[in-house]
Chains A and B, each alone.
Chain A
Amino acid sequence: MAGAMSPPFPAERGIEVYNKKLGMWIFLASEVMFFAALIGSYVILRFGATGEWAKPGIVLSIQITAFNTFLLICSSVSMVKAYAAIQDGFPDKMKFWLLMTILGGAAFVGIQIYEYIHLIEHGFVPSGFTEGSHLAELVENGTLPAATMGLYGSTFYTMTGFHGFHVTCGVVSMLYLYLFKALPGKYTPQDFGGIEVVGLYWHFVDLVWIILFTIVYLV
């Protein structure tokens, strides 16, 4: 080592991704594992269960949720628009699209809360179904399998609940950026890290929902 003239070497000051963005990617990796645990359990429970699963569309309203899904996808698009706008140097357009995204996300959460209330009124609860409810009748007349209703409620509320929680976090953080970064005009075409990082998170949440919608509502 010390003997011969050592050759020049690159300094390797890390990769060409700034910390916050890299950090978000890494965070999303852990989020993937978290939802993998929930979804994996759902798959194991559903296909390991004796007796078949409630048919789609009986307990859960596909129409409302389909609209909700559409809403979330739109909010993803508006997020991209906000990102593009600030990149091209149109802060006002960015503010508008960011606001749209926030509203989209908020609406999604609102509709989900409405859906929950509606479901609980009909007797669909995390532990299965409540006695004497509309759902109980459906179980009585065999429209719904009594054996797996418990698992159905457990998995449905856990998975959608935690997704809803993630959406809420996204909305809150976007609201923060909107009020304290975007409105005061802190974002410039040179520095819009916040938008990009939250955008990544938002697209991830959207993606997770599309999976959940498919396996929980449609299949």
Chain B
Amino acid sequence: MSVDFAKNPRGGTMRRLSSVAVVGAGLLALALGFSNRGGAALAGSTVTGKVKFVGKAPANPSIDMSEEPKCKAKYTTTPQEQVVMANKNGTLGNVFVYVKTGLAADAKYPAPTTPVEIDQSGCTYHPRTLGIMVGQNLDIKNSDPLLHNIKALGKKNRPLNISQPTAGMKTTRTFTAAEVPLAVECNVHGWMHAYIGVLPHPFFASTGAEGTFSITGLPAGTYTLEAWHEKYGVQTATVTVTGSDTKTADFTFTAK
């Protein structure tokens, strides 16, 4: 069930307030995006860019959490599912940008030893969109004192369907095959969704509250970048880099 902002004067504030949580999430995602490259930290080109968003952002569905008071307590206003994270600066968050083609077929990129973390807090996944390398550890944390079920039925990866009944539980899993996106859901709380981009290389990032991304360490070559969004699908861009320069590639999603 979702709140109609026109009818609800506090709607604007509400959106702002709830986006605060998401800014954090976005930054976290970015931070992770960087840490991912720990493994393959080599000099190379950088591709940065903005993911623009034009048109009126649709209202995000608000969530009736009355059945989980312990989660509801973590919010000051009616929580919403961040399907569309429209930033104030006209950009779009939770977009996963990655190098789709152009890398040498034989190139091997070791998976970083630092794990990627996804946290379940307030019956929401933090972050909602994240990238991970094949073979890299994914730490699944539960910060809620109640059951969460983590279910990711990838097509290429072994199905992941586990549960964490108590707070503070941590489960570590890895993925064996590249897959974008790998949708994660919680069957106990229908509104909980997250999207993981599993890639064999470290050249990916997801946008946050600023709507920007930056992919570094690219060897010389011509690449097709793809930007993926759960609602608005994919956009592609092509960049050619020398191996030491910095290029920009922007994407634009339009509200439907």
A touching B, CB within 8 angstroms:
no
